[in-house]
Structure 1
Amino acid sequence: MTPDRRSILAGAAGVALSGLPWRGVRAQAGSIKIGVLNDQSGVYRDISGPTSVACVRQAVQDLGTLGFAVEVVTADHQNKPDVGSNIARQWIDRDGVDVIVDVPNSAVALAVNGVVREKNKVYLNSTAATADLTGPQCTPNTVHWTYDTWMLARSTGGAMVKAGGDSWFFITADYAFGHALERDTTNFVKAQNGRVIGGVRHPLGNTDFSSFLMQAQSSRSKVIGLANAGADTINAVKQLAEFGVTRRGTKVAVLLMFINDVHGLGLQAAQGLVCTETFYWDLNDRTRAFSAKVKPHLAGNMPAMSHAGCYAAVLHYLKAAQDMGVAQAKASGAEAVARMKAMPTDDDCFGQGSIRADGRKLHPSYLFEVKAPNESKGPWDYYKLLQTTPAEEAFRPLAEGACPLVRS
């Protein structure tokens, strides 16, 4: 038995043990099969991994009686595009998977995006950040739900420049996500008459940032932009603190940070950092209700925006499948996504919203500052809200994305 097959079987077994009404690994004609494809063991485990799976299961449970069965399987793509695309093909061709969800790592996401279009299934992206998924690589089969590099660059990057950070040095994860985030942030910096002095790129899963930090310091830039995520961000921020970078007046722009990263850093190290998220568990009554409901299934973790996106995207997809009929939803992923776009969205994580023609899900974004230890009232009370960007302004304008669906 191959490792990928073991992962799939283990995921299905985990679902069966949860007590929810799905069984087996072979989809039936009257059922929907959802594959949660993510990082179960690497640098993005905390921002995807088992918590995303739990949130997908919660979405199924919350809808109650659908009139059709739902099965969930999981697999670890190991942050490798070839592994991810191979799992996607096996799931669709052999195991009858109708929908693939989550997929952190933009290189893997772009590969899966192509497979799903070829097979006419559905891809609900929550955790891959590249805005190319709703730009040149957009397809009628993909919905990009939670956040993207354009939104992060506009919110966090734009705020740093307005605050006087007009010279930048980037420390960038050397793959599609990091490249896209650096590119989009650079565009916003230059548009506000700022300049990029230089940058370095590091491999995924890097542990020693000392040489990169020395180059950043020697550049004398006002801002060091971290275009990475997950464990890479945690390691970089910890070492920035050890180097005493911020004590010398240099600002750090953590362009993608999740509440789980703050938890890993601790408030003593993370205090004062500014980040952008589209969901926070303590944002309002609905987000608190969702988080309280799912928290018992998270083994000490809390939902970040990436996990909330998995929940909300699956919830909306299942509503669309119920509306159009499960047979039609299974027969054509493009038609299922079209139905999703035609229906307004509403869930406890993001509130009311919509999905554009390019597959971009629209909702507000929030600029947060991490609290100091003496400001926090308890576990996971980490953010104070600085700014809200409304849904119609938070993401790249439709006409500027170069999405073939829009041009046609």
Structure 2
Amino acid sequence: MLRGMRLATALGVLMAGCVAARADGPVPVKIGVLNDRSGVYSDISGEGSVVAARMALEDFKPAEHGLKVEIVSADHQNKPDVGSAIARQWYDRDGVDVIMDVVTSSVALAINQVTREKNKVHINSGAGSADLTGSQCTPNTVHWTYDTAALANGTGGAMVKRGGDTWFFITADYAFGQALQRDTSAVVTKNGGKVVGSVKTPFPNSDFSSFLLQAQASKAKVIGLANAGGDTINAVKQAAEFGITEGGQALAGLLIFSSDIHSLTPKVAQGLVLTEPFYWDLNDATRSFSDRFAKLFGGKKPTAAQAGVYAGTLHYLKAVEAQKSARDGAATVAKMKELPTDDPLFGKGEIRADGRKIHDMYLFEVKKPAESKGEWDLYKLLATIPGKEAFRPLNEGGCPLVKG
């Protein structure tokens, strides 16, 4: 009897020691990078976003902050049902704490709801729909890099001020395209312009000829491309073949990434006005990061979406360290909002109550071939748009988290 009691006591001490060891050990964190790895947006996000997340770990040094971090990745194929299924498996079975990137708004909105249901974290860098911090906002999502409201305020407002007061939209027929047309139309109208027509295009699409002919026939001063990635590239190339800009109409790429312009080349895209939240050649910090990234990723410079994954990952890890846990997603996001943001790519900023990350946006024009000094020397800066002017005011989005 006494021997049994001693054995039980010994086992109890051993188990208590194991529990204590686990409690005193590093906090486990699992990051899932979910995006398009094989389709029209793979250059915008894809494997480059995984590289950016790994660079964030390298710079944060998790072990020195009491964290043990693992990164996994998957391809959502731009399909909401596929993205949702992956998210549920990651959250329920694989122990993923946060999903990063998620280019494609329809997929992002689906992930947004699954994340809230499972009380995990979604830090979106690749999708554009401002509804993520509007009617669809949740306590578990942060929208980091850009959104349709900021793109509309940047490019839409600038083009009207330059005299482009009549618009025709060529719009991808899915959540992002519709949101971008909606938000840009509002800015155009607010600034005294007029929308004379629009046409919806299938996604993805390779032949824009009939849609461009409709836009050309409208006589609109500006043809707004409310699409992205491979669709935008195809539309701009075919617009050049039709001689649309030579005929006096301006082309506005409402969502353009540096990878798109690199693919098009300045010869085709010269003079295109666009808005981005990040460009590799903005300052010494962006150049240093981008040089490191290029060495790891076949010489390619990072896109804004990939830069957002890096910065969002850094800030998330700071919040987890402060919480000493990654288990409660809503609590982690609350801590992210509480902590001021500061990173080498986007500088100082904040995350608002609606989950919108606030930082400056930049209005660029694509350089002429004679102005470009190298393969990735693509933009000249026209204006810096302060974050509080670029993004939609907090009280106008309809986010239920915003009081008053």
Which residue does the alignment assign to 2:260?
261
CA distance in structure 2 between the partners assigned to 1:342 and 1:117 by the alignment: 19
Show CA shifts across 1:193-250 (max 9, x none).
2111111111112000000011111111111000000000000000000000001100
* Secondary structure, aligned partner of 1:405: coil
Which residue does the alignment assign to 2:270?
271
Which residue does the alignment assign to 1:340?
336
* Aligned: 1:355 with 2:351: yes
**Quick one: which amino acid aligns to residue 185 of structure 1?**
T
CA distance in structure 2 between the partners assigned to 1:40 and 1:201 by the alignment: 25
Which residue does the alignment assign to 1:45?
42
Q: Please show how residues 223-242 of structure 1 align to structure 2 within 5 Å.
A: 223-242=222-241
Which residue does the alignment assign to 1:30?
27
- Shift >6 Å, 4+ stretches: none
* Secondary structure, aligned partner of 1:248: coil
Which residue does the alignment assign to 2:73?
74
Which residue does the alignment assign to 1:128?
127
The structural deviation recorded for 1:103 is: 0.4
CA distance in structure 2 between the partners assigned to 1:381 and 1:166 by the alignment: 30
CA distance in structure 2 between the partners assigned to 1:397 and 1:52 by the alignment: 29
The structural deviation recorded for 1:29 is: 8.6
Which residue does the alignment assign to 2:294?
295
CA distance in structure 1 between the partners assigned to 2:233 and 2:92 by the alignment: 38
- Larger-Rg structure: 2
The structural deviation recorded for 1:66 is: 2.6
Which residue does the alignment assign to 1:283?
282
Which residue does the alignment assign to 1:375?
371
State whether residues 26 and 67 of structure 2, in contact with CA within 8 Å, keep that contact through their aligned partners in structure 1.
no
The structural deviation recorded for 1:300 is: 3.1
State TM-score, norm by structure 1. Answer: 0.91
Give the fraction of aligned pairs with identical amino acids, expressed as a percent: 64
Which residue does the alignment assign to 1:15?
none
The structural deviation recorded for 1:30 is: 3.2
Which residue does the alignment assign to 1:25?
none
* Aligned: 1:61 with 2:58: yes
Show CA shifts across 1:53-109 (max 9, x none).
100011011111231210111000000000000100000001000000000110000
Q: Please show how residues 5-404 of structure 1 align to structure 2 within 5 Å.
A: 30-64=27-61, 65-326=64-325, 329-330=326-327, 332-404=328-400
Show CA shifts across 1:31-61 (max 9, x none).
1000000000000000000000100011011
**Quick one: which amino acid aligns to residue 253 of structure 2?**
V
CA distance in structure 2 between the partners assigned to 1:323 and 1:271 by the alignment: 46
Q: Aligned Cα RMSD in Å?
A: 1.1
CA distance in structure 2 between the partners assigned to 1:29 and 1:130 by the alignment: 36
CA distance in structure 2 between the partners assigned to 1:398 and 1:261 by the alignment: 31
The structural deviation recorded for 1:376 is: 1.0
The structural deviation recorded for 1:299 is: 2.0
State whether residues 289 and 348 of structure 1, in contact with CA within 8 Å, keep that contact through their aligned partners in structure 2.
no
Moved more, 209-218 or 292-301: 292-301
* Secondary structure, aligned partner of 1:256: coil
**Quick one: which amino acid aligns to residue 404 of structure 1?**
P
CA distance in structure 2 between the partners assigned to 1:219 and 1:47 by the alignment: 31
Count of aligned pairs: 378
* Secondary structure, aligned partner of 2:40: coil
* Secondary structure, aligned partner of 2:318: helix
* Secondary structure, aligned partner of 2:103: coil
**Quick one: which amino acid aligns to residue 304 of structure 2?**
M
Show CA shifts across 1:264-315 (max 9, x none).
0011001111111111111011111111222211123210111100000000
Show CA shifts across 1:133-169 (max 9, x none).
0000000000000000000001001101111111111
State whether residues 367 and 387 of structure 1, in contact with CA within 8 Å, keep that contact through their aligned partners in structure 2.
yes
State TM-score, norm by structure 2. Answer: 0.92
**Quick one: which amino acid aligns to residue 58 of structure 1?**
M
* Secondary structure, aligned partner of 2:189: helix
